[in-house]
Amino acid sequence: MAQKKIVKKAVKKAVKKIEKKTVKKVEKKAEKKIEKKVEKQVEKKVEAKKRKLSKTELGHYRARLLAERDRILRELGRITEAINESAEEQEAAKQSYSNHLADLGTDYMEKEKNYYYADQEGQYLKAIEVAMERLDRGEYGLCIECGDLISEKRLEAVPAAELCIKCKDKKEKLERGH
Ligand SMILES: [Zn+2]
């Protein structure tokens, strides 16, 4: 009887020991799995942050930015000319008294429109120049908000883009207030 009890106790102890060991093993395995997963995630993130445009791609965007800058400068020249011309015309009209008031009004609107265009183009020119500076610093093509690479499609459409599409949407939603 006593012997049976001892055996029972011993078996119980052994089972408990094995159970404990198994639990520990499973726990360790799970831990290792999680660790590996986290490691992989971090690696992936670092990789995403590290990714940069290739030299060929950078050369392509540099050429595009330069072309855009040339186009804007030409456009600004044209607008300036138009503003000067309309100023001369207005002066001439005032002196000859031949122009109707309506014509002067149209001239005035034309001038306002040209000022507006000049302002818009000027702002765009600034954005292009900032993008070129970022290119020189090796930051071009990376979102200034999250550091991710801006998609090729977006850079093609907006070569001066500083935000990836996700961050741009987020910012626009914030600006709209919802
Ligand atoms: Zn972003």
* Shared-domain flag, residues 91 and 163: yes
120 CA to middle of ligand 1, Å? Answer: 25
14 CA to middle of ligand 1, Å? Answer: 57
117 CA to middle of ligand 1, Å? Answer: 30
* Shared-domain flag, residues 151 and 87: yes
Number of independent structural domains in the chain: 2
171 CA to middle of ligand 1, Å? Answer: 10
148 CA to middle of ligand 1, Å? Answer: 6
* Shared-domain flag, residues 93 and 138: yes
Non-local (6+) Cβ contacts of 49 within 8 A are 147, 148
Q: Is 136 strand, coil or helix?
A: helix
Residue 117 is predicted with a pLDDT of: 93
121 CA to middle of ligand 1, Å? Answer: 25
Q: Is 130 strand, coil or helix?
A: helix
pTM value? 0.62
The enclosing domain of 65 has a CATH number of 1.20.120.910
Cα distance between residue 112 and residue 30, in whole Å: 70
* Shared-domain flag, residues 153 and 71: yes
Residue 96 is predicted with a pLDDT of: 72
* Shared-domain flag, residues 60 and 139: yes
Cβ–Cβ < 8 Å for 86, 177: no
Non-local (6+) Cβ contacts of 62 within 8 A are 132, 135
166 CA to middle of ligand 1, Å? Answer: 6
Cα distance between residue 132 and residue 44, in whole Å: 29
pLDDT per residue, tens digit, the chain (178 aa), is 577 787 788 878 877 888 888 888 888 888 888 888 878 777 666 555 557 899 999 999 999 999 999 999 999 999 999 888 877 877 777 777 655 666 667 777 888 899 999 999 999 999 999 999 999 999 999 999 999 999 999 999 999 999 999 999 999 999 998 6
Residue 99 is predicted with a pLDDT of: 58
162 CA to middle of ligand 1, Å? Answer: 8
